[in-house]
Amino acid sequence: MSRREQCLVAVGIAGLVFCALGASLDARAMLGAWLAAALFALSLPLGALTILMVHGLTGGRWGEAVRQPLRIMTALLPFALILLLPVLMGLDLIFPWAGADPTTVSEKVREKLAYLNVPFFLLRFAVCAAIWLVLTWVVLGSTSEGSGKAGNGRKYALGLILHALAVSVFAIDWMLSIQPEFTSTIYALCEASAEVVGAFGLAILVLAARRAVEVMPGGEEDAALSEDLANMQLGFLLTWIYLIFMQWIVVWGGDLPDEIGWYIIRATGGWQYLLWLLIALQVAAIAGSLSRPLKRSHDGLIWLTGLVLASHFVDVFWRIRPPLLSGGLLALWHDAVAWIGLGGLWLALFLFLLRRPDRLVWWKREVAHG
């Protein structure tokens, strides 16, 4: 490992030590912070997996350019799944339905207990994890250098269907059920689009940090590759914004207490400032993406992508953390150590695989044997 990766590992281990201390003092507060960080760490591999399968069906130079960082992100999916294990050991501390007495919950939640119960929850998580691990194996093998492209279309199409089902179940179980009174039929699509935005943003940042993409040819004769990447990013961003806006419109139009309550918690008590920050980041990213000179500039592309990735980070924190945080701003130290611990280890692994892509060679061998 390089010195930088060793430093990140050391920082990550230090963060984990403080996480253990936080758990000993207040397990619920620490697990709440850990969950938000772990879901962000998982969202990037899941988004990368989606993009790789979509590109496998559609093709295009944009996907070939960011394929390597997307493959590295996808390879980190098993590690991201492991990060969820601490939450599984304290489900009753995070999810109000876990182990709850049916007589103490509202009637609306009581109607969902046939679905929201610990054994069924664990079974669904195991199935989702199995689907993603198999898809990771298939996609990394199919996208490795020298792998054949024939016959992959059907695999990608089936994979996207299974992936969509797994993301839907996972989003309902691990995110929506934090507040089981809230119901949204579009939430899983919002989560899937957010994952794509985050993964594509990180892939562009990695590519731009290593190559001058603004001078590389794009799909059109007078277009640069940086323009194509920025335009694809804008398309993903607009899809994400459209979906979350539609969810808000539906909830506002329905004017039901349980649904409105989900937004009230996230728009009061100081969380409204985080919401305004999210909106400002998205507006700035859209406005910047409409400027061709900015998209043809190396620094401009990095700034645009940084805004998009930051908006994904803020979005995950804003959606997951408010109902689980108690104790005011001082309690955010749990989040700081959780993000440092998970982030340090995740980045160390990512940079190591990015520097040594040959470590993924076993995927190639598997394909060759197939």
> Residue 169: its pLDDT value, please?
96
DSSP string, 252-288: HHHT-HHHHHHHHHTTSTTHHHHHHHHHHHHHHHHHH
| pLDDT band at residue 303 under the 50/70/90 scheme | very high
Residue pLDDT, tens place only, 205-243: 998 888 777 766 665 666 777 888 888 999 999 999 999
Judged against a pLDDT cut of 90, whether residue 292 lies above it is answered with: no
Other residues' Cβ atoms within 10 Å of the Cβ of residue 359: 12
Residue pLDDT, tens place only, 134-177: 999 999 888 776 555 555 778 889 999 999 999 999 999 999 99
> Residue 295: its pLDDT value, please?
85
Beta carbons within 8 Å of 118's beta carbon, 6+ residues apart: 91, 98, 99
Supply 126's token pair: 């195991």
Judged against a pLDDT cut of 50, whether residue 363 lies above it is answered with: no
Instruction: Tell me how far apart the alpha carbons of residues 278 and 366 are, in angstroms, rounded to a whole number.
Output: 42
Beta carbons within 8 Å of 147's beta carbon, 6+ residues apart: 141, 364, 367
Instruction: Tell me how far apart the alpha carbons of residues 6 and 19 are, in angstroms, rounded to a whole number.
Output: 20
Longest dimension (CA), the chain: 67
